[in-house]
A and B are shown apart, each in its own frame.
Chain A
Amino acid sequence: MIAKLKAFWRIVRRLSGDDAYEQYLKHYAHYHQTDAGHECHPPLSKADFFRQWQDEKWNGIKRCC
């Protein structure tokens, strides 16, 4: 039961974008540390990441009738 609630909470967080920064850090750790060319910049701070993420998310047709 608790496991199910946790899974539900994970889905809610993922859907809403609440965990977007964690996902970004995961992606960063996965790709950027093994790749010599990308080490030049440290990961963005949460506030900076969120700004860019939000602005990008709203670029283009995102909502329908």
Chain B
Amino acid sequence: MNKLLKNAIWVLIAILGASAIGGIALNRGENINALWFIAAALCVYAIAYRFYATWIATTVLMVDESRATPAERLDNGRDFIPTNKWIVFGHHFAAIAGPGPLVGPTLAAQFGYLPGTLWILFGAVLGGCVQDMVTLFLSTRRNAKSLGQMARDELGPLGGTAALIGTFAIMIILIAVLGLVVVNAMKHSPWATFTVSATIPIAMIVGVYMRYIRPGQILEGSLIGVVLLLLSVAGGRVIDENEILRKAFDHEGLTLAWWVMAYGFAAAILPVWLLLAPRDYLSTYMKIGTITLLAVAIIMLQPDVKMPAITQFIDGTGPIFGGKLFPFVFITIACGAISGFHALIASGTTPKLLSNERDIRMIGYGGMLLESFVAIMAMIAATVLDPGIFFAINSSAGVVGADAAEAVAKISSWGYPVTVEQMQNLARQMGEATLFARTGGAPSLAVGMASIFGSAFGEGLLALWYHFAIMFEAIFILTTLDAGTRVGRFMLQDMLGNVWPKMGETSWTPSVVLTSALVVSSWGYFLYIGVIDPNGGVNILWPLFGIANQMLAAIALCVATGILVKSDKLKQAWITGLPLVGLIVITTTAAWQKIASDDIRIGFFSAANDLTDKLATGLLPPAKAAIAPQLIFNLHLDAWLTVFFISILWLIVFDMLRVCIRYLSGKSVLPLTESAHSTSRLVEDWVRD
């Protein structure tokens, strides 16, 4: 009877989920309520978690709860600590969820709400969650080794090197594009610029407090920081309304870009306790708090989604970025559906805390489900805006024209009516001078979030909510930026250390300064080009980031598939093999189009050639002609970078296939490096307090 009831409940969840997906997929009317998205997501997640994840954990991976984990065996009270599963879940989620799942869905909303939503749901349950869970499992069975080490030990030196180079490259592109998002959010906005810059001294105050005033009192320090952050959001209004102070914080994109670079450099060489660690505390609280608030607000308010299910831009003519629905929706939304970067956290970091293998399903699979849910909320926040307003905020001047009247005429002609007055009104409500051409996703997400928060918790505070949302996005973008620059510096020092051992000493000042400067100038270059690009830069950098991130996911899936085959699980290797094939097809198609397409909005080479021709015939206005040589060089560079990414991808795929074929035909391969079984001695109630 009990079992029957349980089955009946699951059948009901399945029916509800199917109807919700059917509802959002088939709706062609005016509006659709956001609750349908939430219902569809929760049902899909519940079913996938209960059945697919359980099946993978028990039948494919065969997690063994009697087996001691590295956290237990190597317990040192510091980094290896057997920890309660909810705590590990919290750490894991805080580590994987960055700004990616917020920006990607916002940009992909140009195709309509449907393609992105479906990819976020099914990409996550079939791809991203599986990748995270399997990587977590494999690393747990290998003393918490990193992805790069596992690639080297299980596939061979080629795989290890590819993983290392891939990680470094993706870091550079990621920081550049995130830097661009922040710059675009602060451009000519004294309020946002003040609030975002205030996060730096606030983090330092918190850092000094935790280190010297009250050592180790993390919650006290964080509380002070959060209060100061909220004050800085309100204080921005005072700055904005003061004629003189206003000017001090009103800057061009390029000026801000130089500041972001200077900041990145400073953050990479300053001690972690002063800036990086306290900033991370603040951004984690903000992230968890705001996302919870957003979920509550969406459920309370039940806003209508106004974007159509599918727009005409699936044909590749979209104003935010060029390219058809396939493959570009899959490239644009990486984080939130499948993100290779997570494999770096799931290997190395999280396994050091895991107290029992049976928690792998909840932490690996469940953690990614929650990130996918964040992406769904970002999609809702982007699509509750009037489509006209959404496109006006996100289309660059290079596409719709710099003049407001010209821009609204063009956007209205696509069938998404919007007026100059409407935009001015909105900008005034949000406390901004203008909201036209604020590309990068952050401003439109902030407008969406502010309108949701405003309707749920008080309309009068729209401007405060808007700048709160901008601060919330900026604070963890900057955290990713400085953490990433620092990691890049360590990787570079490690690589250079092979040539000149002195360079490998992470505390030798000349090496620190040199490698930090190299890393900052690498991403700074892409940031600079992105800022001067009249088309906004995001349209170039974001697809490049997507391709790089998917390449890293493919590396992780190759390692996983290779190990499954070597563990005599050929019949079940499709769980990672299938998403891998999908990613190879998506990434290769996207890369091919970025390289070879004749459309100047997609192909790098054709855009470079077009610009060269126009420059030669003198068709360009003087301002554009001055920067054209740089843009042309950059387009060539981007094209070759794409070639490089895709070559790495195929190299490692062939390496994995080589290992699998050798194994299956009985030839010798590198042995499995799984550590020997030892029985767990952890007493339940001791660790699970």
Contacts and interface: CB of A to CB of B under 8 A. Distances in A.
A63 B280 contact: yes
A16 B98 contact: no
A39 to B, nearest CB: 16
A55 B272 contact: yes
Contacts of A50: 210-211, 215-216
A59 B689 CA distance: 28
Interface residues of B, number: 53
B251 interface: no
Contacts of A24: 77-78
B216 A21 contact: yes
A60 B219 contact: no
Q: Is the interface of B mostly helix, strand, loop or mixed?
A: helix
B174 interface: yes
B562 interface: no
Interface string B82-121: 0110110011000111111000000000000000000000
Interface string B314-350: 0000000000000000000011000101101100110
B342 A64 contact: yes
A11 B86 contact: yes
Contacts of B150: none
Contacts of A62: 95, 280, 345, 349, 483
Contacts, number: 112
Interface in A13-65: 13-18, 20-21, 23-24, 27-28, 31, 46-47, 49-65
Interface string B253-292: 0000000000000000000110011001100000000000
Interface string B13-29: 00000000000000000
A65 B218 contact: no
Given A24-B77, A27-B75, A64 B98 contact: yes
B178 A54 contact: no
A34 to B, nearest CB: 14
Given A61-B344, A61-B345, A64-B342, A16 B222 contact: yes
B217 interface: yes
B484 interface: yes
B274 to A, nearest CB: 10
B227 to A, nearest CB: 16
B536 to A, nearest CB: 20
Given A50-B215, A61-B345, A65-B341, A11 B77 contact: no
Contacts of A16: 218-219, 222, 281
Contacts of A15: 87, 90-91
Interface in B457-508: 479-480, 483-484, 486-487, 490
Contact of A56 (B79, B90, B178, B210): B79
A20 B345 contact: no
A65 B339 contact: yes
A62 B344 CA distance: 9
Contacts of A14: 83-84, 87
Nearest to A24: B77
Contacts of B349: 60-62
Contact of A46 (B86, B215, B222, B335): B215
Contact of A61 (B211, B215, B348): B348
B365 to A, nearest CB: 16
Which of B83, B97, B222, B272 is the most central at the interface, judged by chain A CB atoms within 10 Å of its CB? B272
Contacts of B178: 65
Nearest to B285: A16
Contacts of B490: 59-60
B549 interface: yes
B479 A47 contact: no
Contacts of B219: 12-13, 16, 18
Contacts of A57: 79, 277
Contact of A65 (B84, B216, B348, B549): B549
B91 A65 contact: no
B534 to A, nearest CB: 26
Contacts of B334: 65
The 4 residue pairs across chains A and B that have the minimum distance between CB atoms: A27-B77, A65-B100, A50-B216, A47-B215
Given A57-B277, A60-B487, 14 more contacts: A16-B281, A21-B216, A28-B77, A47-B216, A50-B210, A50-B215, A51-B273, A55-B273, A62-B95, A62-B280, A63-B98, A64-B95, A64-B96, A64-B97
19 contacts: A11-B87, A15-B90, A15-B91, A16-B218, A16-B219, A17-B218, A18-B218, A50-B210, A51-B215, A52-B78, A55-B273, A56-B79, A58-B483, A59-B490, A60-B490, A63-B98, A63-B480, A65-B99, A65-B341
